[in-house]
Amino acid sequence: MLSKLTKTKAPTSTDFSDSYYVASQWELVRRKFKRHKLARVGIIVLALFYTIAIFAGFFSLSDYQKRDVDHVTMPPQNLHFFDEQGKFHLRPFVCNYIYTLNMDTLERMFEEDTSNCYDIQFLVHTHPYKFWGIFETDLHLIGVESPGYYFPFGTDEFGRDLFSRNVYASRISLSIGFVGVILSFFLGSIIGGISGYFGGAIDMVIQRIIEFIISIPSIPLWIALAAALPHDWSSVEVYFGITIVLATVGWTTLARTVRGKFLELREADFVMAAKISNMSDFHIIIKHLLPSFASYLIVILTLSIPGMILGETALSFLEIGIRPPAVSWGVLLQDAQNIRSLALHPWLFIPAIYVIVTVLAFNFIGDGLRDAADPYKQ
Amino acid sequence: MIFLLWLTTVVTFVIVQLPPGDYSTALIGRLEAAGQHVDEEKRQAIKKEFGLDLPTHMRYVKWVTLAAKGNLGYSFDWKRPVTELIGQRLTLTVTIALLSTIVTYVIAIPIGIYSATHQYSVGDYIFTTWGFFGLAVPNFMLALALLYFGLRYFGVNLSGLYSQEFMDAPWSIAKLLDLAKHLPIPVFVVATGGSAGLIRVLRATLLDELEKQYVITARSKGLSNTKMLFKYPVRLCLNPLVSNLAWLFPNLISGGAITAIVLGLPTAGPMMLRALLTQDTFLSCSILLFLTMLTLIGTTISDILLVLVDPRIRMERSTS
C-alpha cells in the first residue's frame, strides 16, 4: 500500500516532548496527516479544482455555450513567449488561427496567423456571465481582447470553447460525488446503526439485503436505474436522480462498517468503564463511541467519492446520465465516443485527464487519512 | 441462493418497469412519426399483442412462471425468443470475465510478491504507481485510449470481436482464431483495473507477513529465500486474494459491461443497455438476472476455493 511507501517516519525525539502527550486526538490526526506527502499534494490539487469549479464564470475564457462557427474543432492554441524575431515577451500572447479546408482530404486545417496576435490580459472585462446566478458581471481572471480569442484546449464540433466547458463541467462532476456521499452517509449510518444496535432478526434482515445489493453487478444496476429516469426531467432533477442512483449502491459499504464498529465497540472496555462511572447512553455515544470511529467514517467517505465521480462519468458517457445542455466531464467525453473523430481531434480527450487526476487526488487523501485515522499506531 | 434469485427477479422487474410508458408507447410514437394514424382501437390491439394490457404484477407472475420452466419470454424489439438472443452473448460475457479473472491473478500475484520483497526499489515504485493509475482510470477510458493508439499509430481498428468477414459466418476454426485475435484487448482492459486493487492487497499483507517471527526462524535455519517465501508467507497471503474473488468477479462483470459498450463487443452489456432504453422488458430483465446469477456463482466458487486453500477453515469444519 502506498501508505508504506510514504511511511510516516518514526517520531523523532521532539515528537515525544510534552506537546505529543497533551495533544488531543484530532491534533495528533492532523499532525500525522501532514506527514503524508502524497495526501498533501492531493489536497492542493483538489483545492485548486474546487476553487475553479466554484468560481467557474471568473475562470472561464469564453461563454461555454457559445457556438463559434468560424472555429469548429480547432486544435488547442499555442501560448507564446517569444515572437518571430525571437524577442522574449514577459506577457504571453496568442495568435489567431486561419482556417482552410484541405480540398483533397476535406480536413479542416488551422494555421497560425503570426501577424494577428494578442496579449493575454489579466482581470479583464470580456463576455458577461451571472455570478452564482446573483448579479451580472464580465470580470475574468484571464482573457484576450476582441477580436482575439484564446482556446487553450481547442474547440468541439460546434466551435465551443473546451476549456470553459471543462471548467463548468467540473461543477457538476465534482459536486455530484459529495451529494451522493452525503446521501449514502445518512442511509449507511442510520441503517448500519440500527442493524448493529438492535442486532437479532433486524440485523439479520438488513445484512441479507446488503448482501443482495452487493451481489448485483453495480454498473449494470446503475445503467438500469439511470435508464429509468424520465426523459422530461429538468437538468436539476436529473442531477439529483443520478446522485440517488449512485447512492443506492454506495451506502452498503458504509452500513457494514458502521454496524461492525457498533458491534465491536459495544463490548469495549472503555464503554464498560464509562457505564460503571454512571454516564448516560447518549453521553457514551457522543463522547466515546462516535469519536472512536468517526475517523474511519471519514476515510470511507473520502474513498467512496471517486467511485461516484467515475460512476457519473460513465453514465453520462453512455448518454443516460447528465444530459446536455448541462455539462459534466462524462457529457464532454461523449464527443470522444466516435473513435475516428477522436483520432482526428485528440484534444477531445482532455476531460479524461481531469477525471483521472481528481480520482487520484481523492485516493491519495483517502490513503493519508487512513494512516492518520489511528494516530496512536506507529 | 434460490431466495436471492427470486428476489433478483422481483427487483429487476420493478427497475425495468420504472420508466413511464412501455414498449408499445414507443412503438406507437414511431408509427405516428412515420405518418400513420393510430386510433384508440389500434392502440389497444398493439398493447394486447405484446401482453402489455395486463397489470404489472400479472405480467411478472406470467414471466416468472415461464422463466422457471426455462422460457424467458419474447423480445419485443428483436422479435425473437430471449433465450435464443442471449445464449451466445452470455457465453462471450462469461468467457471474457473468466479470462480477465485469470489474467488479473497472473498479473497481480507476481507483481505483488515482487513489490513486497523488493520494497522501495525502482520496480516497486513503478508497479505501485501503475496500480494507482489502474484504480483511477476507468475501464471505458482505457478502452478508448487503446482504440485511439491502435488507430493512430498502427492503423488498425481494435473494436469488435470479429473481423468484418466473420461477423455473420458460422462457427469455424478460422472464426475461432479471429476471435482469439480480438479477445486480448477487452481482457486486458478489464483485467488492469482488477489487478491494481489486488496488487495493493497482496503487497500490504505480504509485507506484514515478512516481518513476522516465523520468517526469521525459517531464514535462520538456512532455508533458501525462494523456498521459504513460497512455502509460508505467500501461501498465507493467498487467502485474502481468494476471498477477494467474491468482489472481483462482480467488478469484472461490471467493468466488462462498459468496456463492451465502448469496444462494440457482442456481449450482454450493450444488449442490456439497448433493451433498457427501448423498454424491452423481458430481455433486459433476463440479462440483469443472468449477470446477478453469475456474480452469485462467483461468490460461491470463491467460498469453495477458500476452503481448499486454507487448511484452518477445513479443520474448523471437521472438528465442529
Q: What is the ipTM of this complex?
A: 0.78
From the candidates A7, A223, A237, which should be mutated to test the interface with B, based on the most B CB atoms within 10 A? A223
Please give the DSSP secondary-structure letter assigned to residue A7: P
Of A197 and B7, more confident: B7
- B38-51 pLDDT, tens per residue? 777 777 777 777 77
pLDDT at B8: 79
pLDDT recorded at residue A15: 52
Residue B4 has a pLDDT of 76
Q: What is the DSSP letter of A349?
A: G
pLDDT greater than 60 at residue A153: yes
Residues A293 and A265: beta-carbon distance below 8 Å: yes
Q: Say what percent of chain A tops pLDDT 70.
A: 92
CB contact under 8 A, B132 and A349: no
Query: From the CB of residue B271, how many other CB atoms can be counted at a distance below 10 Å?
Result: 25
- Residues of chain A with pLDDT > 90, as a percent, come to 1
A199: left (phi over 0), alpha (psi -120 to 50) or beta: left
Q: If you average pLDDT over each of A118-132, A201-215, B1-15, which comes out highest?
A: A201-215
| Amino acid letter, B217 | T
Q: What span, in angstroms and rounded, lies between the C-alpha atoms of B10 and B289?
A: 10
A69-106: pLDDT as tens digits: 777 777 777 777 777 777 777 777 777 777 777 777 77
What is the mean predicted confidence (pLDDT) over B214-224? 85
| Interface touch A216/B288, C-beta < 8 Å | yes
Residues from chain B contacting residue A309 (CB–CB below 8 Å): none
Backbone angles phi and psi of A328, in degrees to 5: -135, 175
User: What does the alpha-carbon distance between residue B41 and residue B23 come to, in Å, rounded to a whole number?
Assistant: 17
> Is pLDDT of A44 > 70?
yes
Q: What are phi and psi of A78, to 5 degrees?
A: -80, 145
Q: Which residues pair with B198 in a beta bridge?
A: none
pLDDT at A1: 41
Could you tell me if A161 and A311 are in contact, meaning their C-beta atoms sit under 8 angstroms apart?
no
Q: In angstroms, rounded to a whole number, what is the distance separating the alpha carbons of residues A372 and B48?
A: 63
* Three-state DSSP state, A340: helix
- Chain B CB within 8 Å of residue A60 CB: no
Grid coordinates given for B70: 426455462
Mind telling me how many Å the CA of A216 is from chain B's nearest CA? Answer: 5
Is A13 a residue whose pLDDT tops 50?
no
Helical (H) or strand (E) element with B42: helix B40-49
> Is A320's Cβ below 8 Å from some Cβ in B?
yes
Nearest C-alpha of chain A: how many angstroms from B172? 30
- Asked if A318 and B273 come within 8 Å (Cβ–Cβ), the reply is yes
pLDDT at A89: 74
Among chain A residues, the shortest Cα distance to B122 is held by: A5
**Is residue A47 exposed (0-12), middle (13-18) or buried (19+ Cβ within 10 Å)?**
exposed
Residues of B within 8 A of A215 (CB-CB) are 4, 250, 292, 295-296, 299
Contact B272 A313 (CB under 8 A): no
pLDDT for B184: 82
Query: Residue B41, SS3?
Result: helix
Which ranges in B118-232 belong to alpha helices (H)?
122-136, 139-153, 173-182, 184-210, 213-220, 225-231
DSSP-assigned letter for residue B85? H
| φ, ψ of residue A81 in degrees (nearest 5) | -110, -20
Q: Is the pLDDT of residue A16 over 60?
A: no
Quote the pLDDT of residue B319: 59
Q: Percentage of chain B surpassing pLDDT 90?
A: 0
In a mutagenesis test of the B interface, which of A9, A38, A219 is the best target, namely the one with the most B β-carbons within 10 Å?
A219
pLDDT band at B180 (very low <50, low <70, confident <90, very high): confident
The verdict on a CB contact (< 8 Å) between B257 and A217 is: yes
Query: What's the DSSP call for residue A346?
Result: G
Q: Kindly tell me if the per-residue pLDDT of A356 is higher than 70.
A: yes
What's the average model confidence in pLDDT over B63-86? 76
Strand-strand pairing, A80-82 and A88-101:
antiparallel
Residues 210 through 229 of chain A touching chain B, CB cutoff 8 Å: 212, 214-221, 223-225, 227-229
